Chain A
Amino acid sequence: MNVKDKKIKFFGNGIGQMTIPIIAICLLVLFNLIRDPSFFSIEIKNNTYGNTVLAGNLISIINGASELAILAMGMTMVTAACGGQDISVGAAAAIAGSVFVKILKTPAQISAGTVIIAFICACIVAMIFGAFNGTLVAVFKIQPMIATLILYTCGRSIAYWINGGATPTVESGIITSIGGFIPGVPIPTPVIIVIVTGILFKLVFHFTSLELFTQSVGINGSAARLNGINSTFIKLLSFIILGVCVAIAGSIGVSRLGLINHETLLLDIEMDTILAVAIGGNNLGGGKFKIGGSIIGAYVIQTLTITLYAMKVSSTDVKAYKAIVIILLVVIGSPVVKEKINRFTIRMRSSKEQTTVKGADES
């Protein structure tokens, strides 16, 4: 009985927030398995540094989506609280990465301490820029997209200026292990960082009421204010949290390549991030949100990209195919289509119930 109730509730609520991203990722996996059964095979290899590591398409998908997943977590908070998106994350990540490299290059030898200090500095700088965006949005009540357009326009120029236009390389065992594999651990380090960040978010939501506050500010800011929630602060905080995520993503991006190129570091990632949030079923107008959905959304995008690459689509043409899939996904997830499906399932269920009731009468 209990199970049946649950089932009815699941369908009764229509398509839940997580259903679309999960269906999407299942379809993609299925498609790949039909196309090439060995697509997801994982093998154990020795890489050039002599470590035993996992390799394969699945690993490269999960590994490649790390920056996107981390940014998507932060973006979800901003979207939920402010009802708008930050389009400056790519530029801000370039700034954070530049600062990261700048500090790393200062001492002669790169030790673990230097990396930590460099990361903290990158965090602080990214948080300051986040606070700048946040102030424009929360205090001056400017639409997030417009407010972040400023940093989007000039962010990469600031990054250019930090390292004097050069693209310095960093050569250090620690940096390679952050961007690649820690010796002895077969899982790529960026994946571990994503998991740690996810757990941190979960812990924060568990021990504070940040999630509830963010939702209520996003749903109705005035009502939240009247209930004693400082909506200005919550909005500002969401941007600062995004700033931390940006710093993490920027540092990973730098560590992966071992150099900072302010023009190409995480280029165009802001659009992918917003897409990840949308595919995750979050309302881009603010309000209820699920971080998990965004993370799955990030993996959906990466799976799609890798699948297209595997089908020998050239990197410049990928965008067109990506767009078609995205449109299909959002059409399925659109409120109108959802309602139609809902009505359809309800009709189906009621007709089924009628037949069962009839059957009961007859017996």
Chain B
Amino acid sequence: MNDIKKTRREPLTNTQLLMTITIGIFVVMYLIAMIFLQGGFLHAQQIFDMLNDNASLIIVSCGLTIVMIGGGIDISVGAVTSLTVMSCVIYLNNGGSLFVSILLALGIGLAFGAVQGFLISYLEIQPFIVTLAGMFFARGMTTILSVDPQKAEHAGLTKLSETQIEMNWLGYKAKNGNLIPARMEIGVVIAVLCIVVVFLLLRFFRLGRSFYAMGGNQQSALMLGINIKRTRFLSYLICGLLSGISGYVFMMHTGAGNATNAAGMEMNAIASSIIGGTLLTGGVGNVIGTFFGTMTLTTIKKIVVSSGLNQPYWQSLTTGGMLCFFILLQSIVLGQRAKKKGRISKEPETAETVETAETAKDAEDDETAETTENTEPGKDA
């Protein structure tokens, strides 16, 4: 009872707070780039370019956010994306139809999600190991399919990937006086659709709320009557499905399959989710935040490139530095809030004694998550 009252009194939950910080920093960073770097940043096309290039990353990050909210991790997403691209391209080049290739992409994603989800939730194997093996398997399969880059030669696909949404009112005048409209690829529309669907799922559906409850405190979720195993299975299934979709979007963007496609995408996706305010401990996170996390990550890369720091190491150095900044910020902000709450009631200590070794470790690792766990599902329930 007391708990519910407390959350009502509070203006923001942890999820919202972390998300607000990310959005704020993104806006500030972009404004600074507009003022000091000008150039491309003044045109709307810059944002659309960022979206076009990162549509698949955004989709993958959505899936990863769901898994991370549920307290798990999936590092196979990048490899599954790569495998989807390669198999779809090869299928299309051998005279397959566009519709079946979409089914193929979804099928590969679902298959990976289902197998990994089954191993993780029903056989209780650590998610890191299972998805690591999944990553190895998908990467290996990609090279078994083809070591050489494959270019897609399919009329339908070319048509699909060349279809762009042009917005004249957001365009700008080029030097020769022609109006260049802002262009957006179909992949971006799919990405936005994915964000909306995942957002609605997490916000208004029982399944989505179960993810939060499960990630927050597995024991409590079990006592609430949530089928933990099925919920966890579904979280990996959705993540796998989104990886498949992301693979198709990736293919539409690049139009070629390559063994090194989407290399390091899983880590970028994890970084996006974290910058967007999702905690790896589970129970806290929002897909809108993840979207802005991806955009922040891309913006910093664009800024680095357009500031003339073109050496290859600058991008990763700045990305690392920014990750460090965000992670510390989250830790400090959440730590402060936990302290404030801790003064009112000291709950975390009692919960630990009952729990199994696995959940006890979570509680020990940071009390910050513990307190958020208790309030988060309670708020909407």
Say if A and B assemble together. Answer: yes
**Contact-residue size bin, chain A (C-beta under 8 Å from the other chain):** 35 or more
- B323 — which chain A residues lie within 8 A by C-beta? 149-150, 153
Q: Quick check: is A298 within 8 A (CB to CB) of the other chain? A: no
CA distance A83 to B316 in the complex (A): 27
Main secondary structure of the interface of B (DSSP, over half): helix
Q: Which of B132, B316, B348 contacts A153 (CB 8 A)?
A: B316
CA distance A327 to B139 in the complex (A): 15
- A319 — which chain B residues lie within 8 A by C-beta? 136-137, 139-140, 143
Contact with A along B295-333 (1 / 0, CB 8 A): 000000000000000001110110111011001100110
Please, which residue of chain B has its CB at the minimum distance from the CB of A235? B365
Tell me if A153 and B140 are in contact (CB < 8 A).
no
Please, which residue of chain A has its CB at the minimum distance from the CB of B367? A141
Tell me if B365 and A158 are in contact (CB < 8 A).
no
CA distance A314 to B143 in the complex (A): 10
Q: Quick check: is A145 within 8 A (CB to CB) of the other chain? A: yes
CA distance A219 to B132 in the complex (A): 24
CA distance A153 to B301 in the complex (A): 13
Tell me if A151 and B140 are in contact (CB < 8 A).
no
Q: A136-B327, A316-B259, A324-B137 are in contact. Are A222 and B332 (CB under 8 A)?
A: no
Tell me if A317 and B143 are in contact (CB < 8 A).
yes
Q: Which of A219, A333, A336 contacts B357 (CB 8 A)?
A: A219
- B124 — which chain A residues lie within 8 A by C-beta? 334-336
- B139 — which chain A residues lie within 8 A by C-beta? 319-320
Q: Say which one of A1-9, A25-33, A62-70, A282-290 lies at the interface with B.
A: A282-290
Main secondary structure of the interface of A (DSSP, over half): helix
Distance between B210 CB and nearest chain A CB, rounded to angstroms: 22
Interface residues of B in 121-175 (CB under 8 A from A): 122-126, 128-130, 132-137, 139-141, 143-144, 147
Tell me if A285 and B126 are in contact (CB < 8 A).
yes
Distance between A229 CB and nearest chain B CB, rounded to angstroms: 12
Q: Which of A156, A271, A283 has its CB near the most chain B CB atoms (within 10 A)? A: A271
Q: A221-B365, A316-B143, A323-B134 are in contact. Are A85 and B128 (CB under 8 A)?
A: yes
- A274 — which chain B residues lie within 8 A by C-beta? 128-129, 132
Please, which residue of chain A has its CB at the minimum distance from the CB of B129? A278
Q: A141-B331, A145-B280, A317-B140 are in contact. Are A153 and B361 (CB under 8 A)?
A: no
Tell me if B358 and A285 are in contact (CB < 8 A).
yes
CA distance A161 to B316 in the complex (A): 12
Please, which residue of chain A has its CB at the minimum distance from the CB of B338? A141
Q: Which of A147, A275, A327 has its CB near the most chain B CB atoms (within 10 A)? A: A327
Distance between A151 CB and nearest chain B CB, rounded to angstroms: 7
Contact with A along B367-381 (1 / 0, CB 8 A): 110000000000000
Tell me if A219 and B360 are in contact (CB < 8 A).
yes
- B107 — which chain A residues lie within 8 A by C-beta? none
Q: Say which one of B191-199, B212-220, B266-274, B284-292 lies at the interface with A.
A: B266-274
Distance between A298 CB and nearest chain B CB, rounded to angstroms: 15
- B271 — which chain A residues lie within 8 A by C-beta? 149, 153
Tell me if B320 and A151 are in contact (CB < 8 A).
yes
Q: Quick check: is B180 within 8 A (CB to CB) of the other chain? A: no
- B267 — which chain A residues lie within 8 A by C-beta? 149, 152-153
- A333 — which chain B residues lie within 8 A by C-beta? 125
Please, which residue of chain A has its CB at the minimum distance from the CB of B273? A146
CA distance A290 to B366 in the complex (A): 25
Interface residues of A in 134-170 (CB under 8 A from B): 136, 140-143, 145-147, 149-158, 160-161
A-B contact count (CB 8 A): 170
Q: A219-B357, A286-B361, A287-B357 are in contact. Are A321 and B140 (CB under 8 A)?
A: yes
Distance between B315 CB and nearest chain A CB, rounded to angstroms: 8
Number of interface residues of B (CB under 8 A): 58
CA distance A151 to B280 in the complex (A): 17
- B361 — which chain A residues lie within 8 A by C-beta? 83, 218-221, 285-287
Q: Quick check: is B119 within 8 A (CB to CB) of the other chain? A: yes
- B135 — which chain A residues lie within 8 A by C-beta? 271, 323
Q: A149-B323, A320-B140, A336-B124 are in contact. Are A140 and B328 (CB under 8 A)?
A: yes
Please, which residue of chain A has its CB at the minimum distance from the CB of B79? A319
CA distance A287 to B359 in the complex (A): 12
Q: Quick check: is A110 within 8 A (CB to CB) of the other chain? A: no
- B143 — which chain A residues lie within 8 A by C-beta? 314, 316-317, 319-320
Contact with A along B53-91 (1 / 0, CB 8 A): 000000000000000000001000000000000000000
Q: Quick check: is A357 within 8 A (CB to CB) of the other chain? A: no
- A221 — which chain B residues lie within 8 A by C-beta? 361, 364-365
Tell me if B136 and A320 are in contact (CB < 8 A).
yes
Tell me if B126 and A143 are in contact (CB < 8 A).
no
CA distance A316 to B79 in the complex (A): 14
Distance between B100 CB and nearest chain A CB, rounded to angstroms: 24
Tell me if A147 and B327 are in contact (CB < 8 A).
yes
Q: Quick check: is A337 within 8 A (CB to CB) of the other chain? A: yes
Interface residues of A in 262-290 (CB under 8 A from B): 271, 274-275, 278, 283-287
Please, which residue of chain B has its CB at the minimum distance from the CB of A221? B364
Please, which residue of chain A has its CB at the minimum distance from the CB of B120? A334
Q: Which of B123, B316, B319, B358 contacts A337 (CB 8 A)?
A: B123
Can you list 10 pairs linking A and B with CB atoms under 8 Å apart?
Answer: A83-B361, A141-B331, A142-B327, A145-B280, A149-B271, A154-B320, A220-B364, A319-B137, A324-B137, A334-B124
**A residues near B, CB below 8 A?**
82-85, 136, 140-143, 145-147, 149-158, 160-161, 218-223, 271, 274-275, 278, 283-287, 314, 316-324, 326-327, 330-331, 333-337
Given contacts A136-B331, A140-B327, A322-B136, 5 further A-B contacts (CB under 8 A): A154-B321, A219-B357, A220-B361, A320-B136, A323-B134
Closest 5 CB pairs of A and B: A320-B140, A154-B320, A157-B313, A221-B364, A323-B137
